[in-house]
């Protein structure tokens, strides 16, 4: 299972990289969202998959699955949401100010 | 020996106080009066030690600074550092007194005096430090403060250019000097100059000895404006005249000479040292005086004259180094008199050149120009200034009854004596030294006459000058008058100076000699008709002839094409390096975000994957993998399908929905992987994100089809695949890493430790509560950012066009 998920993570990362390398702001934002999905899966996989019970004391006898990656991911989900929201609004503002969402047209003056 | 420490630190402390005092003092009086007290007090403090030094004592004190690196703050007061200490504080006092009347209170005086004190402290640090690293630090600080002072009127382009040039050249020399110091450290295992001098016999055989010698000389030559590094000094004349008088004639440019004198006991016996120092010095002497003649700006003339005089002193130290080769013997005085003459001329030059610079400053200040083509006939308007000019110039030209005559005669005696030296096969070109010295002295005589006659004699040209000339205020005249009194006083009583100041310094230059009292010649103004005197007479006669026929031979200078001056080489070098670095930077800093991402990814793959391959860390172990159920496999394929489709999605809504598919699938995985909290959070966040995307789509443009060339698409795809592969490989290699006990077991006691049975929640809310708090802060900042970006507008139209 772990190997399979890691291959999936690799594919997600590759897709995210491809999106980030594109010239349109919206694709880049989508790319970061995919990248955070990949990162969450990667962290979870590192703790081992399906190796124990749900980490709720009293619900089962254990052993419990590793709870630390889960806590990390919980924080990461919220932060990636915040970042996605901010970047989206940044893209909106950049488009409104400059009239373009294309990096080729957002390069500033050539002599700077 | 607190005095020396005070001498180094007091200027820095006062420089730090100036910003505080400036506002209070500016209404009451000129800031200069406060600053004047610093060098004056230090001068008196240092002068107290003159009698003790004359008896042969030296004072040393060590303050531990970085003992583990052999770097200690060691102050060392001996005859040599005393001369410089007195010059720095003495000339410093006079210059600051002069500047009080030269600079009006409308100038930013707090900057000026802050830099000046900074320089003074740094310069005292250079001459009083025994530790090479401390010396180097102060050395560079003098370059920095000199840069700030040259660019004092930074609104002028020429000032900025001159400051940059001085900085580039002196710091280049400083850095090579540092390399030389480090080589000496490797050879001697000590940063202390005294210890290096004491162990010189051992160090001399080290392979790094000669490279160190050359590198240290490079530092000295750049600082003391020796040929061909002299080009910075004329440009440095953009500084206010008090600065030129202080830094660029009396003190900072003599730091290189100090270094040469200080290292004479170490390198003195070497042939390389002798030839480099004496020949470069002589070439500089000639080139400076030859070029001074054609200058039309009085300060430029004085700058070239300073270059020339520095060359003279330098060459004398070179000649004096023969004394180290022979060691102490009966007729050592034949060679050591050169070093003595160097020290003597060092002092003399500071007196007359200081006076001359101040004189030029007065002319500039009161007449409004220092261009000799516009000046003339000022004698009757400015009689006192004229007298100062005559005394200074005649001393510079080497005429009696002024101190320049004495040291010039000794210089002639030294170059004549060197003819007969057998060491280093000097005798082969023995005549070279006196001839160059004599020719250079003729040019010195000529430009001294130009200085006086073009400024003060001839006819006044009232139509070419802006102000009506008049004598300077008394305050401005005091300092040059004091210097002129010294010029005359030293001529009549040279042996007081010789005994109390120069003799102890000789002991520092020849520390291995048992006694130095025999090495210091008794200075006579009249020593019969001999070769030196005849040379002086020749200088005067030919000098007057050349001066009278100046018009007919001045076209000679046009033979030197402007294309091949050192300045053009310097400018071309700077231009080339600037253009080169700009081209290089522009090659990769394209301003295109995509390119920067490419650099990051390529570096990531090269470093991580490269290291994995190189270190042979790719060992995979699939045995511990848990089993795969069929529905999990379906979910995986759904995700892969959605992800790959995203790349080819034409519309933004499709792409966004596919992102949603990924998010919800991951929520399913969280359920499967025993993480109910994550699944819940993921579902909520994914829904909100999707809503947010939809909301923003109202304002954002639709996706355009990406239309770059095929080749670009393929290279992007290749990079993406490599990045993905790297992550997978690293993940596979480390996933079952079990060399350490997992920390997770600690959290199994969550109920006892944190009072909660949901382990994930206890981690977030208790064990790692600070993380969660900071996470909330991140959310808050993002929220504020979103608010600012959507709500706030630029206040004015101009805000959008700041360029």
**Mutation site for A-interface testing, chosen from B605, B663, B674, B694 by largest number of A Cβ within 10 Å:** B674
Mean pLDDT over the full length of chain B = 87
Interface subset of B 216-245, CB within 8 angstroms of A: none
A41 to chain B, any CB pair closer than 8 A? The answer is yes
Instruction: Supply the pLDDT for residue B457.
Output: 86
Q: Total domain count for chain A? A: 1
Instruction: Supply the pLDDT for residue B219.
Output: 94
Q: What are phi and psi of B247, to 5 degrees?
A: -75, -45
**Mutation site for A-interface testing, chosen from B608, B722, B782 by largest number of A Cβ within 10 Å:** B782
pLDDT digits (tens, 9 = 90+) for B64-107: 888 888 888 989 998 899 999 999 999 999 999 999 999 888 88
Interface subset of B 646-685, CB within 8 angstroms of A: 646-647, 652, 655-656, 659, 662-663, 666, 669-670, 672-678, 681-682, 685
Query: Residue B63 in 3-state DSSP?
Result: strand
Instruction: Supply the pLDDT for residue B706.
Output: 60
Instruction: Supply the pLDDT for residue B3.
Output: 83
CB B506 within 8 A of CB B519: yes
Residue B155 has pLDDT above 80, yes or no: yes
The pLDDT confidence band at residue B708, using thresholds 50, 70 and 90, is low
Residue B423 has pLDDT above 90, yes or no: no
B189 to chain A, any CB pair closer than 8 A? The answer is no
Region B672-695: mean pLDDT is 90
> Cβ–Cβ of B778/A79 closer than 8 Å?
yes
The pLDDT confidence band at residue B342, using thresholds 50, 70 and 90, is very high
> Cβ–Cβ of B744/A66 closer than 8 Å?
yes
**Mutation site for A-interface testing, chosen from B597, B673, B745 by largest number of A Cβ within 10 Å:** B673
Give the HSE-up count for residue B205: Cα atoms under 13 Å, Cβ half-sphere. 3
Lowest mean pLDDT among A65-74, A94-103, B675-684: A94-103
Dihedral of alpha carbons B714, B716, B719, B723, sign: negative
A97 to chain B, any CB pair closer than 8 A? The answer is yes
CB B447 within 8 A of CB B305: yes
Instruction: Supply the pLDDT for residue B517.
Output: 67
How close A60 gets to chain B, by Cα (Å)? 11
The pLDDT confidence band at residue B705, using thresholds 50, 70 and 90, is low
- Rg (C-alpha) for chain A, rounded Å, is 19
Between B228 and B118, the higher pLDDT residue: B118
The pLDDT confidence band at residue B462, using thresholds 50, 70 and 90, is confident
Residue A105 has pLDDT above 80, yes or no: no
Q: Nearest chain B Cα to A49, which residue?
A: B673
How close B684 gets to chain A, by Cα (Å)? 10
The domain defined by B592-739 folds into: 1.20.120
Which of B168, B315, B276 lies closest to B229, judged by CA?
B168
The pLDDT confidence band at residue B337, using thresholds 50, 70 and 90, is confident
Interface subset of B 733-752, CB within 8 angstroms of A: 734-736, 742-744, 747-748, 750-751
Residue B409 has pLDDT above 70, yes or no: yes
Residue A59 lies in a domain: yes
User: What is the crossing angle of helices B298-320 and B271-292, to 10°?
Assistant: 160
CB B389 within 8 A of CB B402: no
Lowest mean pLDDT among A47-51, A67-71, B198-202: A47-51
The pLDDT confidence band at residue B794, using thresholds 50, 70 and 90, is low
Max mean pLDDT among B99-103, B418-422, B559-563 falls in B99-103
Residue A40 lies in a domain: yes
Instruction: Supply the pLDDT for residue B479.
Output: 92
pLDDT digits (tens, 9 = 90+) for B291-304: 898 888 899 999 99
Asked whether the ipTM of the predicted complex exceeds the cut of 0.95, the reply is no
CB B563 within 8 A of CB A72: no
Residue B139 has pLDDT above 90, yes or no: yes
> Cβ–Cβ of A41/B790 closer than 8 Å?
no
Instruction: Supply the pLDDT for residue B802.
Output: 43
How close A61 gets to chain B, by Cα (Å)? 11
Instruction: Supply the pLDDT for residue B743.
Output: 81
Instruction: Supply the pLDDT for residue B663.
Output: 93
Residue B311 has pLDDT above 70, yes or no: yes
CB B33 within 8 A of CB B167: no
Which stretches within B704-768 are classed as H helix? 710-734, 750-754, 759-762
Instruction: Supply the pLDDT for residue B803.
Output: 42
Residue A111 lies in a domain: no
Residue B658's alpha-carbon distances to A60, B655, B661, in angstroms, are 36, 5, 5
B68 to chain A, any CB pair closer than 8 A? The answer is no
Token digits for B35? Answer: 């600053």
Dihedral of alpha carbons B170, B96, B116, B348, sign: positive
Closest CB to A85 among B633, B643, B782: B782
Cross-strand pairs, B63: B73
Lowest mean pLDDT among A88-102, B353-367, B539-553: A88-102
Spans of all domains in chain B: 153-560, 592-739, 743-795
A32 to chain B, any CB pair closer than 8 A? The answer is no
B755 to chain A, any CB pair closer than 8 A? The answer is no
CA distance B738 to B736: 6
A98 to chain B, any CB pair closer than 8 A? The answer is no
CB B442 within 8 A of CB B542: yes
Dihedral of alpha carbons A94, A97, A102, A106, sign: negative
The pLDDT confidence band at residue A64, using thresholds 50, 70 and 90, is confident
A60 to chain B, any CB pair closer than 8 A? The answer is no
A74 to chain B, any CB pair closer than 8 A? The answer is yes
Closest CB to A89 among B598, B750, B789: B789
CA distance B788 to B767: 34
Query: Residue A61 in 3-state DSSP?
Result: coil
> Cβ–Cβ of A109/B700 closer than 8 Å?
no
Q: What percent of chain B has pLDDT over 90?
A: 41
The pLDDT confidence band at residue B561, using thresholds 50, 70 and 90, is low
Instruction: Supply the pLDDT for residue B523.
Output: 79
* DSSP notation for A25-53: HHHHHHHHHHHHHHHHHHHHHHT-SS-SB
Residue A25 has pLDDT above 90, yes or no: no
Lowest mean pLDDT among B258-272, B524-538, B632-646, B772-786: B524-538
Token digits for B542? Answer: 């030919």
Q: Give A-chain residues touching B706 at CB under 8 angstroms.
A: 22-24, 27
CA distance B384 to B15: 34
Instruction: Supply the pLDDT for residue B70.
Output: 80
Q: Give B-chain residues touching A37 at CB under 8 angstroms.
A: 662-663, 666
Residue A22 lies in a domain: yes
pLDDT digits (tens, 9 = 90+) for B16-53: 988 888 877 777 778 888 889 999 999 999 999 998 88
- The CA angle B575-B576-B580, to the nearest 5 degrees, is 120
Token digits for B585? Answer: 């930077």
Between A78 and B743, the higher pLDDT residue: A78
Instruction: Supply the pLDDT for residue B796.
Output: 55
Instruction: Supply the pLDDT for residue B302.
Output: 92
CB B366 within 8 A of CB B471: yes
Between B529 and B197, the higher pLDDT residue: B197
């Amino acid at each position: 299972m772990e190997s399979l998920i890691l291959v999936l993570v690799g594919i997600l990362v590759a897709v995210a990289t491809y999106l980030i390398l594109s010239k349109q702001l919206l694709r880049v934002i989508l790319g970061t969202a995919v990248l955070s999905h990949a990162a969450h899966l990667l962290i979870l996989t590192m703790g081992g998959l399906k190796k124990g019970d749900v980490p709720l004391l009293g619900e089962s006898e254990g052993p419990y699955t590793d709870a630390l990656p889960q806590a990390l991911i919980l924080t990461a989900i919220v932060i990636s949401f915040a970042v996605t929201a901010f970047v989206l609004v940044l893209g909106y503002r950049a488009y409104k100010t400059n009239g373009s969402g294309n990096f080729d047209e957002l390069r500033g003056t050539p002599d700077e | 020996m607190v005095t020396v420490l005070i001498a180094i630190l007091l200027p820095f402390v006062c420089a730090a106080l100036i910003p505080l005092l400036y506002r209070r003092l500016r209404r009451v009086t000129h800031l200069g009066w406060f600053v004047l007290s610093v060098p004056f007090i230090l001068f008196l403090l240092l002068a107290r030690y003159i009698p003790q030094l004359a008896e042969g004592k030296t004072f040393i004190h060590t303050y531990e600074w970085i003992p583990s690196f052999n770097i200690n703050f060691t102050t060392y007061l001996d005859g040599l550092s005393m001369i410089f200490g007195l010059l720095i504080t003495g000339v410093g006092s006079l210059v600051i007194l002069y500047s009080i009347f030269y600079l009006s209170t409308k100038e930013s005086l707090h900057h000026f005096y802050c830099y000046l004190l900074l320089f003074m402290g740094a310069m005292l640090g250079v001459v009083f430090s025994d530790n090479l690293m401390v010396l180097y630090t102060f050395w560079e600080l003098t370059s920095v403060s000199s840069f700030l002072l040259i660019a004092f009127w930074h609104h002028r382009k020429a000032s900025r250019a001159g400051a940059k040039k001085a900085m580039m050249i002196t710091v280049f020399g400083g850095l090579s000097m540092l390399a030389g110091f480090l080589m000496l450290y490797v050879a001697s295992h000590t940063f202390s100059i005294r210890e290096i001098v004491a162990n010189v016999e051992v160090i001399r055989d080290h392979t790094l000895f000669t490279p160190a010698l050359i590198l240290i000389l490079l530092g000295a030559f750049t600082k003391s404006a020796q040929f061909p590094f002299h080009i910075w000094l004329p440009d440095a004349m953009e500084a206010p005249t008090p600065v030129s008088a202080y830094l660029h004639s009396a003190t900072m440019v003599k730091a290189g000479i100090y270094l040469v004198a200080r290292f004479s006991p170490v390198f003195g016996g070497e042939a390389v040292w002798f030839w480099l120092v004496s020949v470069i010095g002589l070439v500089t002497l000639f080139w400076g005086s030859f070029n001074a003649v054609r200058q039309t700006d009085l300060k430029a003339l004085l700058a070239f004259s300073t270059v020339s005089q520095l060359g003279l002193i330098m060459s004398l130290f070179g000649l004096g180094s023969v004394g180290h080769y022979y060691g102490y013997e009966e007729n050592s005085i034949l060679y050591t008199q050169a070093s003595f003459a160097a020290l003597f001329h060092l002092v003399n030059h500071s007196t007359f050149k200081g006076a001359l610079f101040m004189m030029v400053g007065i002319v500039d200040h009161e007449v409004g120009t220092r261009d000799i083509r516009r000046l003339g006939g000022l004698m009757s308007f400015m009689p006192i200034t004229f007298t100062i000019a005559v005394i200074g110039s005649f001393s510079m030209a080497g005429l009696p009854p002024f101190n320049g005559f004495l040291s010039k005669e000794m210089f002639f005696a030294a170059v004549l004596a060197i003819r007969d030296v057998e060491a280093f096969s000097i005798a082969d070109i023995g005549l070279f030294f006196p001839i160059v010295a004599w020719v250079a002295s003729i040019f010195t005589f000529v430009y001294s006459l130009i200085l006086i006659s073009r400024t003060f004699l001839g006819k006044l040209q009232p139509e070419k000058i802006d102000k009506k000339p008049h004598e300077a205020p008394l305050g401005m005249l005091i300092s040059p008058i004091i210097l002129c009194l010294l010029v005359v006083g030293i001529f009549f009583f040279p042996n007081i100076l010789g005994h109390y100041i120069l003799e102890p310094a000789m002991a520092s230059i020849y520390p291995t000699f048992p006694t130095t009292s025999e090495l210091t010649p008794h200075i006579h103004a009249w020593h019969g008709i001999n070769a030196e005197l005849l040379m002086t007479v020749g200088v005067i006669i030919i000098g007057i002839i050349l001066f009278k026929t100046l018009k007919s031979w001045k076209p000679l200078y046009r033979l030197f094409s402007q294309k091949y001056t050192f300045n053009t080489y310097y400018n071309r070098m700077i231009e080339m390096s600037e253009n080169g670095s700009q081209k290089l930077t522009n090659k990769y800093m394209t301003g295109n975000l995509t390119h920067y991402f490419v650099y990051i990814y390529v570096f990531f793959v090269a470093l991580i994957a490269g290291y994995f391959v190189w270190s042979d860390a790719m060992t995979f172990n699939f045995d511990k993998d848990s089993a795969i159920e069929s529905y999990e496999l379906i979910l995986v394929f759904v995700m892969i399908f959605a992800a790959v489709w995203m790349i080819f999605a034409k519309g933004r809504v499709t792409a966004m929905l596919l992102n949603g598919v990924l998010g919800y699938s991951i929520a399913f995985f969280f359920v499967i992987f025993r993480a109910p909290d994550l699944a819940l959070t993921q579902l909520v966040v994914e829904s909100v994100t999707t809503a947010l995307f939809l909301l923003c789509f109202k304002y954002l443009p639709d996706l355009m089809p990406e239309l770059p060339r095929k080749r670009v698409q393929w290279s992007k795809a290749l990079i993406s695949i490599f990045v993905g592969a790297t992550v997978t490989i690293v993940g596979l290699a480390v996933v079952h890493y079990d060399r350490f006990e997992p920390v997770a077991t600690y959290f199994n006691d969550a109920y006892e430790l944190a009072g909660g049975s949901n382990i994930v929640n206890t981690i977030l809310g208790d064990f790692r509560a600070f993380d969660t708090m900071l996470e909330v802060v991140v959310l808050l900042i993002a929220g504020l950012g979103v608010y600012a970006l959507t709500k706030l507008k630029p206040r004015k139209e101009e805000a959008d066009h700041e360029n």
